[in-house]
Amino acid sequence: MSMAGNIPLRPHQDLRPRVALILIGAALVLILGRNLLPPGLMRAPDWLVLPFADWINVIFAFLRDDLGLIHVTRAFAAMLEWLLDVTANLLYGKNRWPRLGPLPWSAVAVSMAALGWWLGGWRLAALSGGTFVWIAVMGQWQWAMETLSVIAIAAPFSVLLGLVMGIMAWRWTWAAKLMNPVLNVAQSLPHFAYMIPVVVFIGVGPKAGAIVTIIFSVPPMIRMTELGLRKVPEEVVESGKMGGATAWQLLRKVRIPTARTEILIGVNQVIMQCLAMVVLASFIGMPGLGQKLLQLLQALKIGLSVEIGITIVLIAVVLDRLSKAWAMRQPVHHDETLPWARRHPVLVVWALALVAAFALAQIFPLLHQVPRAQALSVAGPLDVLVDGFIRLVDPVTTWLRWFLITWVLIPLRDGMLWLPFTAVLTGIAAAGWSVGGWRSAAVVVAFFGLIALSGWWDRAMITVYMVGFSVFIAALIGLPLGIWAARSETRAGRMLLLCDSLQTFPSFIYLIPVVMLFGVNDVAVVAAVVTFAAVPLIRYTIEGLRGVPAELVEAAHMSGTTRRQMLWHVRLPMALPVMMVGLNQSVMFSLFMVIIAAFIGTQDLGQELQRALSATDVGKGLVLGLAVAFMGLAVDHLIRRWSESRSAALGL
């Protein structure tokens, strides 16, 4: 059906390749005639470079001092701080109201196990209880609780805020129209960029950490709430109306429960995003695991920081499973005649175990708190392992470093910087035009044009070159791995689990071994970025290949295709739209990671962002952050357009 619908081409679609070709020709002319170009076509002339940063700083100074916004934000922060102090007291005994804590670790572990049991049976109980035992036994209790005391406030806050904003976006079109571009930018803005205004308006400390975590984690919640509410079938709403429900009752009792699945996916995303911020937020005062991790890395204690990384991954896995189990959970209806205890066995067991834990913790101090000196550690063997690995691959990496630097990276980078900016813009316009006509061309040119106007063109090109090369290498590794893993269900499952772990493992830990392997240079940066950027490529290749309709594979099989033909002519073309989503995410991840790789030592936008953060220069930070975001949005636009037309052509 869709094939037939695609045959009568609209006339202007015919023109697209031709216009794109003309644009590519123009770009080539600009490149070939480079030496004859006036300097104004090489780089944006000075009069075109607009002082965006100064404007933003003026606006911020006005908001903060003249409008007195700082009092509002500080008041809000004070409220948040009060909440943070309560959890901080309960979890790690900070000297604040209600002065009850800290709870013994055994009591917390027992409670988490009970929660796991209630939501998902004994396996989940073992996983979540076991994780908290690991944290205690490894002597990381205090740090983990410091982290969780912030997340325990930030995550619910984010969920609530997302829910309200999602409802607004669903209810009023203007709100959706307003929010959509803001959310797009927010989700592609590097974390450092919005940490600077937070320092200015909120200050430093756990409260600032909580606020950046909320800002970072709220967009998916808004998106999922809006999506869920839009998907509620009209019949359901109708039946609610017939029952005489008011608008508020309809929302609370009909729409939100029906949109439950999407909303809970949003909750799950919020939790994951919160954990992703653990390390970065410690730059502005979030206490706990992230802060400790940075300190340990600073003293080159890789084994100990890997231990912390494992804890962060474990906490992420536990919270992920718990929230997913909660999403899947259907209400259980008990026989009312049964005694109370029989109806709530988990509650009874939990209460008993909790009492036992408190009592035992009084007798055995080790069940209350495991001191660092008595904690177990796997750091020694881990250090030996890392060290041995580095020694083993050293000859290869030395050669690789020399080869990549001399023959690939330096020429590529010089090439990018050598190009006139007008040629780059024309080339981008060509890509836009061929994918989506003049509209797309205008969108992507606007994004990159603004970067040129900001005056950060050279740095932006270095970022582009590093992201481009990293994604290329990531594709070389990720696609074959994904194809290989998609062959069997068990392999795919294991690979996806590995992907999840790699994604939540704090990226800062990679930075040190790559420097040891390659030194402070772009090879180290690329190596760190590739580790991160390959993950979505692997994941979506697997998802895409597994999502190919079985009938199609069956039909191709019957017509006698070989395995190779099946892959190249049936499975891959069908999976391509999904794989492109992976590519899109891979570009996003690379952009984030390249910025973080400023801690290795880069000369791109990330380095300047790092500088802006330490100088608390809001204007500069936002301009640089937006430059990164615009690159991401331009790529996102191109890939999305392409993928949409491709899916339509395939009839998916």
User: Which stretch of DSSP H or E encloses residue 554?
Assistant: helix 550-558
* Residue closer to another protein (CB basis): 279 or 485: 279
Instruction: Assign 3-class secondary structure to 561-599.
Output: CCHHHHHHHHHHHHHHHHHHHHHHHHHHHHHHHHHHHHH
Backbone angles phi, psi at 457, to 5 degrees: -55, -50
* Residue closer to another protein (CB basis): 222 or 517: 517
Q: Which has the closest alpha carbon to 221: 265, 279, 259, 283?
A: 265
Q: Shortest gap between Cβ of 93 and another protein (angstroms)? A: 5
Q: In the chain, what are the helix, strand and coil shares in percent, each to the nearest 5? A: 85, 0, 15
Tell me if the bond preceding 345 is cis, omega within 30° of 0.
no
Nearest-10 Cα torsion for 317, 322, 327, 329: 140
Amino acid at 456: W
Q: Shortest gap between Cβ of 140 and another protein (angstroms)? A: 11
Q: Shortest gap between Cβ of 104 and another protein (angstroms)? A: 11
* Residue closer to another protein (CB basis): 405 or 567: 405
Q: Shortest gap between Cβ of 371 and another protein (angstroms)? A: 6
* Residue closer to another protein (CB basis): 6 or 406: 406
Q: Shortest gap between Cβ of 57 and another protein (angstroms)? A: 14
Q: Shortest gap between Cβ of 474 and another protein (angstroms)? A: 21
* Residue closer to another protein (CB basis): 136 or 263: 136
Q: Shortest gap between Cβ of 373 and another protein (angstroms)? A: 8
Question: What burial class does residue 4 get, using C-beta atoms within 10 Å of its C-beta: 0-12 exposed, 13-18 middle, 19+ buried?
Answer: exposed
DSSP label at residue 252: I
* Residue closer to another protein (CB basis): 471 or 613: 613
User: What's the Cα-to-Cα distance from 408 to each of 171, 465, 466, 598, 641, rounded to whole Å?
Assistant: 53, 11, 11, 21, 31
* Residue closer to another protein (CB basis): 24 or 405: 405
DSSP label at residue 325: H
* Residue closer to another protein (CB basis): 239 or 406: 406
User: What's the Cα-to-Cα distance from 113 to each of 106, 130, 230, 354, rounded to whole Å?
Assistant: 10, 8, 36, 11
DSSP label at residue 279: T
Q: Shortest gap between Cβ of 608 and another protein (angstroms)? A: 9
User: What's the Cα-to-Cα distance from 624 to each of 280, 311, 453, 599, 601, rounded to whole Å?
Assistant: 18, 33, 12, 16, 17
Q: Would you tell me which residues interact with another protein (CB under 8 A)? A: 92-95, 102, 141-142, 199, 203-206, 282-287, 291, 294-295, 297-300, 368-369, 371-373, 390-391, 394, 401-402, 405-406, 410, 511-513, 515-517, 519-522, 597-602, 607, 610-611, 613-616
What is the C-alpha separation between 361 and 114, in angstroms, rounded? 18
What is the C-alpha separation between 151 and 184, in angstroms, rounded? 24
Q: Shortest gap between Cβ of 204 and another protein (angstroms)? A: 5
How far does CA 365 lie from the centroid of its chain? 40
Interior angle at CA 489, CA 484 and CA 494, nearest 5: 75
Q: Shortest gap between Cβ of 98 and another protein (angstroms)? A: 16
Q: Shortest gap between Cβ of 207 and another protein (angstroms)? A: 10
What is the C-alpha separation between 503 and 317, in angstroms, rounded? 11
Q: Shortest gap between Cβ of 401 and another protein (angstroms)? A: 6
* Residue closer to another protein (CB basis): 383 or 500: 383
* Residue closer to another protein (CB basis): 2 or 616: 616
* Residue closer to another protein (CB basis): 221 or 593: 593
Count of other CB atoms within 10 angstroms of residue 216 = 24
CB crowding 224-252: b at 16 or more within 10 Å, else e: bbbbbbeebeeeeeeebeeeebeeeebbe
* Residue closer to another protein (CB basis): 181 or 388: 388
